[in-house]
Amino acid sequence: MIVQLNGKELANNIYDKLKENLNLIEHENNITLVVIQIGNNEASNVYIKNKKKACEKVGINFQHYKFSEDTKFDDAIQFIEKINAEPFVTGIIVQKPLPEHLEGIEQFISPEKDVDGFTFENLGKLVSGYNEIIPCTPSGILDLFNYYNIDLKGKNIVIIGRSNIVGKPMALAALNKDATITICHSKTKNLKFYTSNADIVIVAIGKANYIDSSYLTSKCMCIIDVGINKVDGKLCGDCNYNDIVEYWEKLEETGYNETRFITPVPGGVGPLTVANLISNTVTQALNKNFIKD
């Protein structure tokens, strides 16, 4: 059987649960997510719109501050520090990608208001396994594993992509679940050597349709595609979905009866990244006792 992992459905379940939890407490509209955007990246504009919609869905406040590409480092820091001090702001993110001269400004977000989990303090907690805030995309991927009962214990997971947003935190989060992790990247020699031994492949390289069935063997039970690319105006992932599914169908015809899982693009990982941002925002708000109960 081939199962398409439905991120949209799971994201909606997360929103319903968050709404239910928020209804039980008197939060007096005190939960506020601030998104700081610098520049006018087209994809970021879309992601931020989705984050706003998600906040509205669960009934928390959303503020979006947008600055020009040539914002000075000191001015950006000063703004973050001002927002850190706002008592009703419970979550802050700096939308990536950033202009090069501003790389690292997210480190000035207070760790207790960091809802991306990108600050050194929150990443350090993830390294040691004492984390509460996991970066939103890896956290969403863990939700999928959990929802579809995909046990990570002892599994060979190959992660393709070593970004601070996805690859590295994903490796730590999966390691904390007792998986064996290999991180591959653009300088990896003979990528197929690694993917051919994988039980699970997580792809986050930003190259449309790059990973196809030629990278896989019958061992592979699950493909998680983090990519969001546009080809001829149409969204597609980093994996060649149709080619992989066809390969799996052929395996089934030749007697391989295992269940295999794959995320679609869109509707796979993407909605869960946003849902986990909202979930992290609620978690941080509860931690801060901004909410009466």
Give the residue among 143, 141, 208 at the shortest CA–CA distance from 181. 141
CB of 273 to ligand GUN, least distance (A): 6
Cβ distance to ligand GUN smaller for residue 119 or 213: 119
CB of 88 to ligand GUN, least distance (A): 21
CB of 96 to ligand GUN, least distance (A): 4
Cβ distance to ligand GUN smaller for residue 47 or 241: 47
Cβ distance to ligand GUN smaller for residue 8 or 96: 96
CB of 136 to ligand GUN, least distance (A): 4
List 37, 113, 116, 155, catalytic entry: 116
Known catalytic membership, residue 243: no
Known catalytic membership, residue 4: no
CB of 61 to ligand GUN, least distance (A): 18
Cβ distance to ligand GUN smaller for residue 95 or 279: 95
Residue 14: alpha-carbon gap to chain centroid: 14
Question: How far is it, in rounded angstroms, from Cα 221 to Cα 259?
Answer: 7
Question: How far is it, in rounded angstroms, from Cα 248 to Cα 259?
Answer: 10
Cβ distance to ligand GUN smaller for residue 116 or 238: 116
Known catalytic membership, residue 107: no
List 95, 155, 238, 284, catalytic entry: 95
Question: How far is it, in rounded angstroms, from Cα 292 to Cα 22?
Answer: 11
Backbone phi and psi for residue 35, each to the nearest 5 degrees, phi listed first: -110, 125
Q: Are β-strands 260-262 and 229-231 bridged in parallel, bridged antiparallel, or unpaired? A: unpaired
Question: How far is it, in rounded angstroms, from Cα 70 to Cα 271?
Answer: 31
List 51, 113, 155, 168, catalytic entry: 51
Residues of the shown chain interacting with ligand GUN in the complex, contacts defined by CB under 6 A:
93-96, 116, 136-137, 165, 273
CA dist list (Å): 259 to 10, 34, 251: 19, 41, 11
Nearest residue relative to ligand GUN (C-beta)? 96
Question: How far is it, in rounded angstroms, from Cα 82 to Cα 76?
Answer: 10
Give the residue among 27, 29, 45 at the shortest CA–CA distance from 37. 45
Are 32 and 55 in contact by the 8 Å Cβ rule? The answer is: no
Catalytically annotated residues: 51, 95, 116
